[in-house]
Amino acid sequence: MKVLLIEPPINSNVIAAGLVVLNEPLALEIIAATIPHCEVKILDMRLGLDAILMEELNSFQPEVVATTSYTAGVYTANQILQQVKKYNPKILTIIGGHHATMVPEDFNKEFVDVIIIGEGEITFKELIDTYEIRGDLKKVKGLALPQNGNLYFTPPRELLSSLDLMPIPNRDLTKKYRHEYFRGSWSPSASMVISRGCPFRCDFCAMWKITHGKYRIRTPESVVNELMQIEEEYIDVVDDNTLHNVKKAEEIYQLIKEKGIKKKYKLYARSDTVVKRPDIIEKWREIGLELLLVGVESFRDEELKERNKLNFVRHNEEAIRILHENGIEMIAYFLIAPDYTEDDFNILAEYVKKMELAHPVFTVLTPFPGTDLYEKRYHEFITYNYELFDFFHPILPTKLPIEKFCQCLAELYRKVYSSKESQKFFSSEMVQKFYLSIINAHEAYKVKDT
């Protein structure tokens, strides 16, 4: 059985996509590893390779084509599968991923055969095995099957009982691309999963719904086994909350240390975890932790409360102090509320400078499908065009005129990334490109809503 897995190209309206970070198609590499008995290829179309889709179909002649999509890429993913079906109607077309799980109806198309709901590791293998013997796909859990304009849902798929059941990604399939994957000055970088899920209930996040509010973490042996197979020095851990289970994180640290693995890491953590257990930060720093992504979200407690963050500014500031003391850079994520005024933008810029944050990321509060925020404010949207759901285009009404809002956001980035300390992560040229893309963001609203 020949299976082609496609990472869709980046649509032109998405700001910053592929500019400051481009991770390997980890989900596809994991899925590929679940079907070692098949002949599998990965086509990464983010690298300017969209013109070769037809060439790949001609040369490889796949029997199955599968792709994935976040919200901003829904139209692109649909277009790919439409092209595949037009090329050969007999090819089984599959879509999975975050958006397909939250809003499968958006892929209820005549050119889509199967929609995978939730975690795909077991589902995809069973799907391929069943299709190979021409069995009944309705017997495979975790699917939505488009039929005569409606969706037929099979019984839901349970979450993996253990993340150790997840196979090590088949990185051999992206060998020709690997020098292209990076995060800022980290190049080339590799990505990996250590944990899944988060027990918190932030109103702007849907991940806790996808993982049923559960948090799971791999065993130290599983993590280290994978690390020892990765050639890259830089490891971008793409979890939602890597250090939530401090005991397990400590065990992973201990085994990495014992094995003498020399890597540099970026992890995720909440600031209150850092404050409660600064020792885990010290230990991971010892084995190569250099960057810690923290959802700071705001410099005001009332905004944190509104987002149901269940955290406080004082924890954020204490975590910053602890990370500074340990020589670890915080990638501090802030949410820019649509009601921000020019004063709010200026105050935030001053706050970032005062806290000596060299690596802040400012994202516009976006009500993604599946989040509580989406359900609460859906009828207020100024656009329903998925291409603009990219963290930088306002979806909710802004207090400032849209052009002024985008200009303030762009100036915020320019101000905080003007220092030499900040430019060790992103070059001045990269910041300038980012600045211009935000400045011109309002032009994208001329795209007809779909």
At 312 the pLDDT is 98
At 444 the pLDDT is 72
Is pLDDT above 90 for 351?
A: yes
Q: For 7-26, what is each residue's pLDDT tens digit?
A: 999 877 777 777 789 999 99
Is pLDDT above 60 for 429?
A: yes
Burial group, residue 74, by CB count within 10 angstroms (0-12, 13-18, 19+): buried
Q: For 216-229, what is each residue's pLDDT tens digit?
A: 999 999 999 999 99
At 432 the pLDDT is 77
Of 379, 365, 368, which Cα lies nearest the Cα of 72?
Answer: 368
At 151 the pLDDT is 98
pLDDT mean over 412-416: 90
At 418 the pLDDT is 79
The string over 19-38, giving b where at least 16 C-beta atoms fall within 10 Å of a residue's C-beta and e elsewhere, is ebbbbbbbbbbbbbbbbeeb
pLDDT confidence of 51, banded at 50, 70, 90?
Answer: low
Element (H, E) at 192: strand 189-192
Is pLDDT above 60 for 450?
A: no
Is pLDDT above 60 for 31?
A: yes
Of 149, 197, 106, which Cα lies nearest the Cα of 95?
Answer: 106
User: What share of the chain in percent tops pLDDT 70?
Assistant: 96
At 50 the pLDDT is 54
- CA–chain centroid gap for 45, Å, is 17
Average pLDDT over the chain, rounded to an integer: 94
pLDDT confidence of 446, banded at 50, 70, 90?
Answer: low
pTM over 0.85: yes
Q: For 258-311, what is each residue's pLDDT tens digit?
A: 999 999 999 999 999 999 999 999 999 999 999 999 999 999 999 999 999 999
Is pLDDT above 90 for 419?
A: no
Q: For 354-400, what is each residue's pLDDT tens digit?
A: 999 999 999 999 999 999 999 999 999 999 999 999 999 999 999 99
pLDDT mean over 23-48: 96
Cβ neighbour number for residue 381 with a 10 Å cutoff: 17
Q: Measured between alpha carbons, how far is 90 from 57 in angstroms, rounded to an integer? A: 13
pLDDT mean over 319-333: 97
User: What share of the chain in percent tops pLDDT 90?
Assistant: 87
Cβ neighbour number for residue 316 with a 10 Å cutoff: 27
pLDDT confidence of 417, banded at 50, 70, 90?
Answer: confident
At 443 the pLDDT is 72
Could you say which DSSP state residue 410 is in?
H
7-11, 79-83, 109-113, 161-165, range with the lowest pLDDT:
7-11
Of all residues in the chain, what percent are helix, strand and coil, respectively (each to 5)? Answer: 45, 20, 40
Q: Residue 337 is encoded by which pair of tokens? A: 């509320």
Of the two residues 437 and 132, the one the predictor is more confident about is: 132
Q: For 66-85, what is each residue's pLDDT tens digit?
A: 999 999 999 999 999 999 99
At 423 the pLDDT is 66
